[in-house]
Amino acid sequence: MNDMEAAIAAQAKKTGTKTIQLTPKAPVTKAGKIESNAMVGALASATADALVAATKPVYNPGEIRTKAVLGPVKTWSYSGVTTFERCPHAVKLNKVDGIGSESGPAAKRGNVIHDALEKWVRGDLDPLPHDKKTKLDVFAQDLQELRTAYKAGDVLLEEKWGIRLDWSPCDWSDPEVWGKGALDAFVLDKRDEDNISCRIIDYKTGQQYGNEMKHSSQGVGYALHAMHRFPDIKHFQLEFWYLDQGTKMIRQFNRKLLTEYHYRYHLRGLKMTESQDFLPNPNLHSCQWCSYGSNKNAKGKPYGNGACGFDIFKGLQDE
């Protein structure tokens, strides 16, 4: 019996305690940490289980839910889903109540440039369109190559792709269309028949910085459409051409990686198209640039149509 055990036994005898059992379960190191083979083994086992779970595919193709009770909004697109996730009520105002909203100057300019580039690549317009903001000279060679590939029949322009609830491809006019995607340019590369690849090109006007995550997510949606529409394609390259900055952002995916994103996209689409209530989500971020709000820009000019009664900025400009 060591000194500690003797002291505890003496105290037990003095206080009348019948039994006190002291059985150290593991030695204590100098640093005060308990060393236990059992604990180390348990931690190793738990870590191994966690690693296995983390590396498991997020999704198996047969697991997506292909039956749904759709609400009043029966189709989704990337822009629609992001609006819904920001504020479902804005989607209701647009898709259910049929209240339109006017595009701002930046959106209108973007549409003009997109239309002009489409015509130029098709060969219906010369010279190359530009304005004071665009740096199309940086993309002159890329656009010329795109124009040449289009003449060779390897480029699709302004495609409007649809998918049904089971992700089978269809047109936007299909009565069962569920998801929609509109592409600027799609380039098919068949030079390697054993490893067919494609390039999905999206023209961007406006800022690149701060929008990379949003644009990457949008591009994944395009790649998922292409993956289901072209089962022989194995490699997908997403290219975002930032026309005002003269820069590119490129992301690459294979079918395995896209399959893991697929389930998440499917759930996002289901959440929007199964919604029945479209509850508003008023906050500084959601309301600040909403086209249905009552806010004003830095110059004091209103940019919302005021259709939303939940806008937190409503009435503030009159105070």
Sign of the CA dihedral with 189 first, then 181, 126, and 110 last: negative
Mean pLDDT of the residues in the chain: 82
* 28 plus 84 within the same structural domain: no
CA 20 to chain CA centroid, Å, is 61
Q: Is residue 70 included in any domain, yes or no?
A: no
* 37 plus 84 within the same structural domain: no
pLDDT exceeds cutoff 60 at 257 = yes
Which amino acid, one-letter code, is at 204? K
Here the tokens at position 43 are 């931690």
HEC secondary structure over 103-114: CCHHHHHHHHHH
Q: Is residue 261 included in any domain, yes or no?
A: yes
* 25 plus 94 within the same structural domain: no
pLDDT in tens, 15-74: 554 443 434 444 444 443 334 444 434 444 444 444 434 434 444 544 788 889 999 999
The whole-angstrom separation of Cα 263 and Cα 267 is 6
Number of domains in the chain: 2
* 104 plus 45 within the same structural domain: no
* 126 plus 43 within the same structural domain: no
Q: What average pLDDT does range 86-93 have in this prediction?
A: 96
* 117 plus 187 within the same structural domain: yes
pLDDT for residue 1: 57
* 101 plus 236 within the same structural domain: yes
DSSP string, 266-287: HHHHHHHHT-SS-----SHHHH
Q: What average pLDDT does range 177-183 have in this prediction?
A: 97
318 vs 23, more confident:
318
* 131 plus 188 within the same structural domain: yes
Q: Is residue 283 included in any domain, yes or no?
A: no
Give the three-class secondary structure for 228: helix
* 152 plus 258 within the same structural domain: yes
220 vs 194, more confident:
220
Percent of the chain with pLDDT over 90: 60
Domain termination site, one of 273, 291, 312: 273
* 12 plus 145 within the same structural domain: no
CATH of the domain at 234: 3.90.320
The whole-angstrom separation of Cα 216 and Cα 234 is 19
Give the domain range for residue 19: 3-55
* 48 plus 170 within the same structural domain: no
* 84 plus 8 within the same structural domain: no
The top-scoring range by mean pLDDT among 37-46, 49-58, 127-136, 197-206 is: 197-206
Q: Is residue 72 included in any domain, yes or no?
A: no
pLDDT exceeds cutoff 90 at 138 = yes
pLDDT exceeds cutoff 60 at 273 = yes
Distances (CA, A) of 195 to 153, 250, 251, 299, 306: 19, 19, 18, 53, 52
pLDDT for residue 298: 60
Q: Is residue 157 included in any domain, yes or no?
A: yes
pLDDT for residue 47: 43
Give CA angle at 276 (275, 282), nearest 5°.
Answer: 80
